[in-house]
Amino acid sequence: MATVMSTASATATSTPQPGEPVGIGFIGAGEISILHNKALKSIPGARLVGLWNRTPERALQRAAEYGCRRYETPEELVADPAIGAVFVLTDLDTHLQYVRLALEAGKNVLIEKPLGATVAEIEQMKATAERCGVICVPGHNMIHEASLARAHDLIQAGELGKIVSCYVMYNIQHSEERASTLPGMVRHILTHNIYTMLYLVGRPVRVTALKAMRHYENLSKEDLAMCIVELENGGLAHLCASFAADDLSADPWTFMVKVIGTAGATRYTYQDWVEAKRGISHSRVYTAYQATIANEDRYFVDVCLKGGKPLSTLEDAIVAQKMVEAVEKSLAEGVTVSIV
């Protein structure tokens, strides 16, 4: 049976009055902010108050598009009493800086993944949140999907029997220009696959990984990474992350999750909801992807408002980062790596 994901409780100090929406501030106004802004517009209990971005021109553009305030500095944003929660949407290398800034100002925080460059950085976020008594939640959006929640409940109840195998497969071609702005397949996409695996079938014991360059010509980053994982429950997982090519087969593994047990199986795929228009990074819109962002933000707002427990915690993010680092060690040394 899968290990239940850890939970952590915290009492938010920046809570709205009854009936008032939670005021949200964005630190970072890149492409992911477009999806979060769209998500917040569908949530009655939240409103985007304002944003800050390192590049003033981008900040002014997004503030005008979103109909919100533009702050001169991140310090000004977190000091605003109208803001009860902060979404940290910047590049990976600045996450810790801005998470600590927001937490120490008494704001609840949602951090886009990947959370930190190292396990130690995420541990600092966790310690700061606990010290400040506010909520800090990782942006593990893929698990905020009704189909995966149903799969999780079946697995937890033992309805699928002993877990035999878990597959989390991602095959969506990205342009070389777009890929150049991202931290590579392991950090950017395999992280999604890892926390989805954790949510469904529990913790890893050891991992063997490989990577390749099959599409890009001018980048040093890999465009394909795969790993095989031994799980605590004795089953095996296969994770794939690829920007190299779309899967154009009849039953494509665009983003596909499958768990096979001795007494049943479950499956989820992006391909069940596709819109014939271009997405931000994708050649078409995968409706479920936007829905996971909306569901994640809605869940976060409910936690802020009602004092509930996050679906995924910083402890889960620490385990995911340990596996990321184990994958990188496996890639560098060509060995199977134990995860402790």
Spell out the residues 6+ positions from residue 81 whose beta carbon is closer than 8 angstroms to its own.
none
Q: Where in the chain is the domain with CATH 3.40.50.720?
A: 22-142+294-313
pLDDT of amino acid 18: 62
CATH 3.60.21.10 fits 143-282+321-338, yes or no: no
Q: Which of 90-104, 253-267, 280-294 has the lowest mean pLDDT?
A: 280-294
Angle at 112 between CA 109 and CA 117, to 5 degrees: 105
pLDDT of amino acid 10: 35
Query: Which of 79, 36, 29 is closest to 54 using CA atoms?
Result: 29
Q: What percent of the chain has pLDDT over 70?
A: 94
**In contact, 127 and 10? CB cutoff 8 Å:** no
pLDDT of amino acid 46: 96
pLDDT of amino acid 7: 32
Give residue 3's pLDDT band: very low, low, confident or very high (50, 70, 90): very low
> Which class in CATH covers the domain with range 22-142+294-313?
alpha beta
**In contact, 263 and 161? CB cutoff 8 Å:** yes
Taking only the tens place, the pLDDT of each residue in 309-326 is 888 999 999 999 999 999
Q: Which of 5-9, 153-157, 170-174 has the lowest mean pLDDT?
A: 5-9
Which has more confidence, 235 or 20? Answer: 235
- How far does Cα 301 stand from its chain's mean position? 16
pLDDT of amino acid 6: 34
The mean per-residue pLDDT over the stretch 46-68 comes to 97
pLDDT of amino acid 304: 83
Taking only the tens place, the pLDDT of each residue in 14-33 is 455 667 899 999 999 999 99
Which has more confidence, 184 or 324? Answer: 324
| d(C-alpha 117, C-alpha 94), whole Å | 9
Count Cα neighbours of 192 within 13 Å in the Cβ-side half-sphere. Answer: 22
Q: What is the DSSP letter of 167?
A: E
Query: Which of 188, 137, 122, 158 is closest to 327 using CA atoms?
Result: 188
Which has more confidence, 96 or 287? Answer: 96
Taking only the tens place, the pLDDT of each residue in 325-336 is 999 999 999 999
pLDDT of amino acid 15: 53
pLDDT of amino acid 12: 37
Q: What tokens does 133 get? A: 């008594």
**In contact, 226 and 193? CB cutoff 8 Å:** no
Q: Where in the chain is the domain with CATH 3.30.360.10?
A: 143-282+321-338
What is the residue-averaged pLDDT of the chain?
91
Q: Which pTM was predicted?
A: 0.90
Nearest 10 degrees: Cα torsion 244, 250, 251, 255 = 30
Please tell me which of 3-7, 269-273, 300-304, 314-318 the model is most confident about, judged by mean pLDDT: 314-318
Q: Report how far apart, in Å, the C-alpha atoms of 78 and of each of 23, 100, 137 are.
A: 11, 11, 17
Q: Which of 79-93, 181-195, 197-211 has the lowest mean pLDDT?
A: 181-195
